[in-house]
Amino acid sequence: MGTLSVDPFSRSFKGLIVWCIWLSLIQSSLATSHKTGHHFYKWEVEYMYWSPDGVENIVMGIDGKFPGPTIRARAGDTVHVQLTNKLSTEGVVIHWHGIRQKGTPWADGTAAISQCVINPGDTFDYRFTVDRAGTYFYHGHYGMQRSAGLYGALIVDLAEGEKEPFHYDGEFDLLLSDWWHKSVHHQEVGLSSQPMRWIDEPQTLLINGRGQYGCSLAAHYSKSPLSQCNITGHEQWAPYILHVDPNKTYRIRIASSTSLASLNLAIGNHKMMVVEADGNYLQPFETNDLDIYSGESYSVLLKTSQDSSQNYWISLGVRGRKPKTPQALTILNYKTNSASKLPISPPPVTPRWDDYAHSKAFSNKIKALDHKSIPKPPPTYHRRIALLNTQNMMNGYTKWSINNVSLSLPATPYLGSIRFGLKNAFDQTKPPEDFPGDYDVMKRPVNSNTNTGNGVYMLGYHSTVDVILQNANTLAENNSEIHPWHLHGHDFWVLGYGEKKFTKADEEKFNLKDPPYRNTAVIFPYGWTALRFVADNPGAWAFHCHIEPHLHMGMGVIFAEGVEHIAKIPKEALSCGLTGKRFMTGSHLG
Ligand code: C2O
Ligand code: CU
């Protein structure tokens, strides 16, 4: 009976559909005119069985993947990751390494600094803008969850219509890491024990989460007892092969998420042109091999101009520590050949682990492309902070200290406690700006008992800050180690590197003309590194050694600026510690 009657509901329903289609048309035309996109990811973090190097183990995966999914966006886009913690017995956070989080300091993903950890079962929304094209990655930033395998790539392409200052035909993304067979809990308890039990060097180096333990892809060249790996290509630990066409140019993006290892990458018979570091363009320079420290990223251009009837080895070796970890290998496969055809020349041997002259020469070649995309450093500074890096003992525990303070994070995230003036949340005394003038950096530390602390370097909003990172001898005689320092929320200009103790006279050698603009810079053994940055990003920011066990043992400091300008911090970021208690009692925070 009612089949022929047009009821008003269905008519208005049709109208609604037409309206919706029309609206979405307008929206999509708006979107193209603004050229910014929105990328939504719903992720679950969970431990799972995986064989990163052929030995089954437990890794921290995202949505059943290791490494986690690659995020790909364009400059200006919004990334929204809705992260659910499925770990069931521990909290989690994720840090977006190299993304400056302008206007969203609570999305930086640093436990106890920018937010409370996400509890098992809970979900947290990371929403932020990727404001600049470049090669980045993300990783866990709570305890030692990076070592547990919580990381993935984050690639930001140029905004639509913009052009790179170089040409390429294809791209590969390599995320480098190191892997232990002992669990992260085993590692952590060892570091926090008295006396400390060192986990020793990693078993395997991984390229995109893939390595080979106990066998070698190039066994036929080595005199080692390792046998040729038996791989079909479908294993979780099968190498990530780079398939290329001859006579093309490829951009290879390389980021290092290692927990410990400093690395060097080389490609047999091919040179690389280095063009990007940490999201900033460089004056291109050619190299046979590339040093890369934890926390750094690069883009290199590779011309496939060699004999296309052959394949070539890509090798990855350890720098700066006596390597007990074998080189990682994969293959550059000219598609004119089968990928399983083994290269006829042996894998390139990366430089000797302690050839620091080689590392320094490489670092000194890195210069900013121009001042179109990269700001010029201010010619002077408002404040200079000298940070002495030492290894120390504290009541029988082994620590790393900065100006004799070993960082131990508070229970309440700094972002909240500073914003709301909670004085009991962390040390209110200013951390030291300097170290004793007569400190001998060539000798073992005399301060036999260091202190722990969690004070904050409060920086003047918009002020220019110089940091002199000063390296020194460790607890062992005649030993000093490499430390790659990473700054959250900013890029800094690397003004220079030098030997032994920094003196005022060293300022003469600063590069103010074309210093690289980066978020990670290394200090060489017994040396210093001078950095400059503008404190123009309201928030609380970690500045620390990117070697995860070093950070865990206190090798970091906290900077904060302009926190009073932060409008509204989402409650979910602060529902722990003293800020959490305030929410519970209903007392107002603001
Ligand atoms: Cu990639 Cu605070 O670290
Ligand atoms: Cu370190």
pLDDT digits (tens, 9 = 90+) for 71-88: 999 999 999 999 999 999
In ligand 1, the atom with minimum distance to the C-alpha of 551 is 2
Which ligand sits nearest to residue 151's alpha carbon?
Answer: 1
Q: How many residues does the chain have?
A: 590
Return left, alpha or beta for 556; rule: phi > 0 is left, psi -120 to 50 is alpha, else beta.
Answer: beta
Could you tell me where the DSSP H helices lie in 443-534?
Answer: none
For residue 480, the number of C-alpha atoms closer than 13 Å in the C-beta half-sphere is 23
Q: Which residues contact 22 (CB under 8 A, 6 or more apart)?
A: none
pLDDT tens, residue by residue, 165-177? 999 999 999 999 9
In ligand 1, the atom with minimum distance to the C-alpha of 294 is 1
Instruction: Tell how far the Cα of 470 is from the centroid of ligand 2, in angstroms.
Output: 12
Q: What residue owns the CA closest to ligand 1's atom 1?
A: 97
Which single residue is written with the structure tokens 């503008």?
Answer: 534
Which ligand sits nearest to residue 541's alpha carbon?
Answer: 1
pLDDT at 587: 62
Q: How far is 312 from 391, CA to CA, in rounded Å?
A: 41
Helix (H) or strand (E) holding 561: strand 556-561
Instruction: Tell how far the Cα of 483 is from the centroid of ligand 2, in angstroms.
Output: 4
Share of the chain above pLDDT 70, in %: 93
In ligand 1, the atom with minimum distance to the C-alpha of 544 is 2
Task: Name the residue among 144, 148, 44, 147 with its Cα closest to residue 88.
Answer: 44
Q: How far is 352 from 374, CA to CA, in rounded Å?
A: 34
Q: How far is 42 from 125, CA to CA, in rounded Å?
A: 9
Whole-model pTM over 0.85: yes
pLDDT at 585: 80
Which ligand sits nearest to residue 260's alpha carbon?
Answer: 2
pLDDT tens, residue by residue, 480-516? 999 999 999 999 999 999 999 999 999 999 999 999 9
Instruction: Tell how far the Cα of 223 is from the centroid of ligand 1, in angstroms.
Output: 39
Tell me 261's DSSP state.
Answer: -
> ∠143-144-145 over CA atoms, to 5°?
100
In ligand 1, the atom with minimum distance to the C-alpha of 520 is 1
pLDDT at 312: 98
Instruction: Tell how far the Cα of 99 is from the centroid of ligand 1, in angstroms.
Output: 11
Which ligand sits nearest to residue 137's alpha carbon?
Answer: 1
pLDDT at 583: 83
Q: CB of 548 within 8 A of CB of 147?
A: yes
- Ligand 1 neighbours, Cβ below 6 Å, are 95, 97, 139, 141, 295, 486, 488, 542, 544, 546
Instruction: Tell how far the Cα of 198 is from the centroid of ligand 2, in angstroms.
Output: 14
In ligand 1, the atom with minimum distance to the C-alpha of 137 is 1
Which single residue is written with the structure tokens 């791989």?
Answer: 231
In ligand 1, the atom with minimum distance to the C-alpha of 542 is 2
The per-residue pLDDT of the chain, averaged, comes to 92
Instruction: Tell how far the Cα of 58 is from the centroid of ligand 1, in angstroms.
Output: 23
- Which has the higher per-residue pLDDT, 226 or 212? 212
Instruction: Tell how far the Cα of 187 is from the centroid of ligand 2, in angstroms.
Output: 16
